[in-house]
Structure 1
Amino acid sequence: MKKQWLAPAKLNIFLYITGRRADGYHFLQTLFYFLDYSDLITITPTCDSRIRLLNTIDGIEEKDNLIIRAAKLLQHYCWSVGDPSAPGADIELKKNYQ
Structure 2
Amino acid sequence: MQAILAQAQQMQQHIMEAQAQLAEAEFTGVAGGGLVTATVNGTGELIGLVIQPSAVDPDDTETLADLVLAAVRAANAEAQQAAAETMGPLAGGLPGLPGLGM
Indicate whether the TM-score tops 0.5: no
Which structure's CA Rg is the greater one? 2
- More strand as a share of residues: 1
Larger RCO (CA under 8 A, 6+ residues apart): 1
Q: TM-score, normalised by structure 1?
A: 0.25
